[in-house]
């Protein structure tokens, strides 16, 4: 057959280069933990590097500092995503791992993971509702919902990173000009992003070791988070985990009470059962929602 002839079959290229996280699915449990134990500290150093650089730029280059802070959050979110793969019960991991590691490369998934650490849902079902709100492609804003806005999480990221051409509801084209978010404002947000603080605490208590990851898997994997499981369940598992990490001598000498408190307070319950893909919202759906909001405000004369 001549070279280049189209046989109708999909040609599979060699699995080389970057973006190979899905190959974690091909590793057995032990090898996967060994590989993650090698990589998690590398991700953390990357996140910390972005964060430290952002602090140095804040006074002179506010927009660039904010971009680097965003990179730090996304890198830290990668750790949280991989930790959810470790927390997933063994009976489920074969069916969920491919999708979980897919979020490793997804900007929206990483940003939601980073934001979710500050949410306080009553249980997983409510957390699922929160996530679903954050992944809608468009939403309504303003009085009576007169403005149709794109997904804010993605828009905030992209508009800060790039000069681009955008359109509003009137179809007029405009240039998006990335701006300095600190212009005219005091520098108040110099605290480490919560997702990065959690990732750093994980390292301090010894999770970024093969034995530490095995402890995470054993303890968190004993409970499947499906609907009503909540932070009370999670706190019990965290307590068991910290006791085991201490008993096995895995905690770093530099670990502090703040690290324990951070994990109790801010490590979100497992999200391996949630969906983080963008939800398309049609113009018809948005216009119908606008009409409902308008009549709810002025009073519907039909009733």
pLDDT, average across residues 66-95: 96
Give the max Cα distance, the chain.
73
User: Residue 171 has what pLDDT?
Assistant: 77
In whole angstroms, what is the distance from residue 197 CA to residue 140 CA?
Answer: 33
User: Residue 36 has what pLDDT?
Assistant: 97
User: Residue 20 has what pLDDT?
Assistant: 83
CA angle, 63 as apex, 59 and 66 as ends, to 5°?
Answer: 90
pLDDT, average across residues 84-106: 94
| Tokens, residue 165 | 């051409």
Closest by CA to 80, choosing from 216, 196, 213, is 196
Show the beta-strand stretches assigned E in the chain.
Answer: 138-141, 147-150, 164-167, 173-176
In whole angstroms, what is the distance from residue 226 CA to residue 213 CA?
Answer: 22
In whole angstroms, what is the distance from residue 216 CA to residue 228 CA?
Answer: 21
Tens of pLDDT, residues 250-285: 999 999 999 999 999 999 999 999 999 999 998 888
**pTM of the full structure:** 0.89
Residue 59 pLDDT grade (very low, low, confident, very high; cuts 50, 70, 90)? confident
Tens of pLDDT, residues 134-166: 999 998 877 767 788 899 999 999 999 999 999
Give me the percent of the chain exceeding a pLDDT of 70. Answer: 90
User: Residue 6 has what pLDDT?
Assistant: 55
The residues spanned by each domain of the chain are: 28-134+192-277
> What CA–CA distances, in Å, run from 38 to 62, 112, 207?
34, 25, 11
Q: What is the CA radius of gyration of the chain?
A: 22
Residue 9 pLDDT grade (very low, low, confident, very high; cuts 50, 70, 90)? low
| Tokens, residue 220 | 């968190």
User: Residue 297 has what pLDDT?
Assistant: 72
The whole-angstrom distance between residue 97's C-alpha and the CA centroid of its chain comes to 16
User: Residue 8 has what pLDDT?
Assistant: 58
Beta bridge partners, 295, equal none
pLDDT, average across residues 55-69: 92
In whole angstroms, what is the distance from residue 242 CA to residue 42 CA?
Answer: 23
User: Residue 7 has what pLDDT?
Assistant: 57
Tens of pLDDT, residues 14-44: 777 888 888 898 999 999 999 999 999 999 9
Phi and psi at 167, nearest 5°, equal: -130, 145
Tell me: pLDDT of 1 over 50: no
Helices and strands in the chain: count of H runs, count of E runs? 11, 4
């Amino acid at each position: 057959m001549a070279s280049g002839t189209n046989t109708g079959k999909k040609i599979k290229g060699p699995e080389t280069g970057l973006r190979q996280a899905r190959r974690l699915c091909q590793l057995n449990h032990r090898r996967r933990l060994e590989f993650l134990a090698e990589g998690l500290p590398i991700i953390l150093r990357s996140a910390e590097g972005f964060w430290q650089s952002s602090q140095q730029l804040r006074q002179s280059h506010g927009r660039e500092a904010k971009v680097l802070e965003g990179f730090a959050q996304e890198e830290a979110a990668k750790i949280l995503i991989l930790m959810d793969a470790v927390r997933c019960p063994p009976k489920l991991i074969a069916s969920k791992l491919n999708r979980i590691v897919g979020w490793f490369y997804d900007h929206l998934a990483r940003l939601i993971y980073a934001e979710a650490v500050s949410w306080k849902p009553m249980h997983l079902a409510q957390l699922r509702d929160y996530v679903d709100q954050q992944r809608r492609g468009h939403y309504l804003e303003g009085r009576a919902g007169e403005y149709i806005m794109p997904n804010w999480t993605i828009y905030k990221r992209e508009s800060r990173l790039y000069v681009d051409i955008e359109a509003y509801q009137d179809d007029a084209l405009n240039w998006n000009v990335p701006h300095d978010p600190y212009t005219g404002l005091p520098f108040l947000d110099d605290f480490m992003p919560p997702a990065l603080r959690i990732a750093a605490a994980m390292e301090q208590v010894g999770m970024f070791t093969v034995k530490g990851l095995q402890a995470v898997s054993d303890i968190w994997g004993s409970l499947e988070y499906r609907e009503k499981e909540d932070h009370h369940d999670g706190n019990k598992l965290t307590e068991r985990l910290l006791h085991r990490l201490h008993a096995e001598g895995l905690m770093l000498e530099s670990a502090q009470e703040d690290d324990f408190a951070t994990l109790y307070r801010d490590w979100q319950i497992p999200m391996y059962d949630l969906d983080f893909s963008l939800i398309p919202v049609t113009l018809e759906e948005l216009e119908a929602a606008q009409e409902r909001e308008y009549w709810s405000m002025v009073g519907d004369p039909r009733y």
